[in-house]
Structures are given as structure tokens and as C-alpha cells.
Amino acid sequence: MINADAKLAENIFDKPAQASSREGFGKGVVEAGKMDERIVVLTADLAESTQAHHFEKAFPERFVQVGVAEQNLATVAAGMANYGKIPFITSYATFSPGRNWEQIRTTIAINNVPVKVCGMHAGVSVGPDGATHQALEDIAMMRALPRFIVISPCDAEEGRKATLAAAKSGTPVYLRFGREKTSVMTTAETPFEIGKANIFWNPPSPGRAEVAIFATGPLVHNALLAARELEKEGLGAYVADIHTIKPLDADTIVRLAREAGAVVTVEEHQIIGGLGGAIAELLASVSPTPIEFIGVHDAFGQSGTAKELIEHYGMGVGAIVAAAKKAIERKKL
């Protein structure tokens, strides 16, 4: 059952509002810009598809167009942050942090300047553009970097809040956003704090969960649909929205994993090095638990619709339900 404390939208299963998480970025960065004059936004010839054009319109004097040059995007921003600005750099995640990862490592992370790397079009749900434009490795790349906070919002509203929180963090941050319109689950009242997981779904009997589902990004909605199916079959579950992949909310994750005794991780990313990897590292060291990994299994994407691709790569509701049952079965071994 839905956790009332999360203050989710009322109609998340019937007719949820649809918006892309990048739209949340577009709104959030304008709000942040109003609050703090140090905020600047840079893009590499992708102002509209990154939603940076909203900031460009509101604050043209604080908008920087670097052209198709992602290495320059990161390093110019590093220089601006070094001066005292708070730059948000925007491109597709395959290009930034994909192409410019070393520049991010040296001039932002080692240099310790508060640049916010905003990677759009994450996951296979980019759709028709195909594998070259579908970022599936960005979480792995960014969570390996010391000093970086890594945030993967579940919807547009959380994307807006994450953008505002990143603006205030004083640290390097990676923000991951999707292209497609997806279900808006959270509301303005839903809590958001960097590093604090949000429990969206509880088992019907408190303390009697069979499985804990840890999900990130827009697939949190599929995780909720899966939890509803499981509940119909008498299997209590938790669904936690792990919007912050680094630092992980270790307290919440370990508590839910211990109570349920079985875990499913859900992400639109390679299962190598992403959320699942991070949770496996955590649980292996403090509370070994059977885990099933929903994500892309060491493969590249391809052209198709978002829905087709999510199903094809095993990230649909049915796949999550099956993974939960498998994890529960493994408890008995």
C-alpha cells in the first residue's frame, strides 16, 4: 500500500500526469537561478532538448553556448566554478559525462569545484535514436568519482527538487534525467533530501514485507505497479525511491533489506556498476541478502519505442514481479 508519508499524487495508478524528468530540470534551474545569481547554465548545442532554453530565456546573460564541444563544456564550467559561479552543464548523458569523463574527473572532481553535470536522455527510453544516444553506463562512471553526488530523479517534480538541492549543495553533482514523458508520482509535498531514500510503498502489515524493491529513475513507477501486483497475490513489499545513488541511504536500505530478507533493484542502466551494484556492495558488506537485478544485462540498446525497449530489456512490470518472486524463493535456499 502507498506510504501516506510520501504524499504522492492521488492518481498514480489510474491516470497519472505525464511529464519528463528533464522538464523538471528546466523548471528547477530557472527557480534556482532566481534565488542565486551565481548560477549559470551551459549547453553544447542542445539548449531545447536539455530544457536549458528556459534558463536561456530567463537569464540570457548567464547562459553560455559552447557549441558541439562537450570537453569544453565541462572545462569551461570548471573555470567558471573556480571563479565562484555555480554552473549547470547540459547535454545528453552519452556525451556528458560520456565523452568528457576525464575532464570531469580532473577539472571538476579532483579540482573540487561545484559543477552540476546534467545528463539527459538517460536509458533505453530515449527510443528511436538507438544505442548511441541511450546512456546506460553513466551512473557507473559517475559514482566511481570521489566528491560527486549522484542523483537520479524518479519524475519531473523530483527532478525539479533535485535541481534545486544540487544548486545548494556546494559540491560536484551528477543529475540524471530522462527524455520521455513518464508518470509523475511525487508532489510538491513529497519530501526530498539528498541522500535520503523515499519509501513509496509499504507492506499491508507493518514489518511484514517479503521483498524490498529499490528503484531509481522513472522505473520507480513500474516498481510500484509491480508491488501492487505482488500485494494482490499476498506478498507484501517495500518500494523505495533511491533518488540519490551516491551517497546511498545505507540506514534505510539495510533496514528494509533485513526486514524483507530479499531485494530487487530496478534501474534503466547496465546492471554492472549502477544502483544494483551499489546496493550489492553495501549489503554484501553489512547484511548479505538475496538480490535480483532489473536493468540492462551487459547489452546495448537499439531503436524502438520506449515501451517496447523497456519490455525487451526486461524492465517491465512483469519482469519486476517475477524478479521479486525469485528473490523471495531464494530466501528459502
- What are the C-alpha distances in Å from 89 to residues 115, 251, 253? 7, 32, 31
Q: Which residue has the cell 541511450?
A: 134
Residue with smaller CB distance to other proteins, 13 or 59: 59
**CB of residue 120 to other proteins, shortest distance in Å:** 20
**288 neighbors 282 (Cβ within 8 angstroms):** no
What are the DSSP calls for 105-170, one per residue? Answer: IIIIIITT---EEEEESBSGGG-TT-GGG-BSSHHHHHHTSTT-EEE--SSHHHHHHHHHHHHHH-
Residue with smaller CB distance to other proteins, 117 or 324: 117
3-state SS class at 34: helix
Q: Which residues contact 274 (CB under 8 A, 6 or more apart)?
A: 139, 140, 245, 267, 295
Residue with smaller CB distance to other proteins, 20 or 43: 43
Cα 96 from chain centroid? 15
**CB of residue 43 to other proteins, shortest distance in Å:** 13
- Cα–Cα distance between 293 and 315 in angstroms, integer? 10
**CB of residue 80 to other proteins, shortest distance in Å:** 4
Q: Which three cell numbers stand for residue 142?
A: 559517475
**Torsion angle defined by CA atoms of residues 153, 11, 324 and 238, in that order, rounded to the nearest 10 degrees:** 70
Among the options 23, 70, 210, 268, which is catalytic? 70
- What are the C-alpha distances in Å from 141 to residues 30, 34, 210, 251? 27, 31, 32, 24
229 counts as catalytic: no
Residue 78: CB atoms within 10 Å: 23
What is the contact surface with other proteins in residues (CB under 8 A)? 40, 61-62, 64, 66-67, 69, 71-72, 75-85, 87, 102-103, 106-107, 110-112
**CB of residue 214 to other proteins, shortest distance in Å:** 34
The H or E element that residue 19 is part of is: strand 18-19
Residue 10: CB atoms within 10 Å: 9
**CB of residue 59 to other proteins, shortest distance in Å:** 11
**CB of residue 112 to other proteins, shortest distance in Å:** 5
Q: Classify burial at 172, counting beta carbons within 10 Å of its beta carbon; exposed 0-12, middle 13-18, buried 19 or more.
A: buried
Residue with smaller CB distance to other proteins, 170 or 206: 170
Residue with smaller CB distance to other proteins, 5 or 102: 102
Q: Which residues contact 124 (CB under 8 A, 6 or more apart)?
A: 134, 136, 268, 296, 301, 304, 306, 309, 310, 313
* Active site members: 70
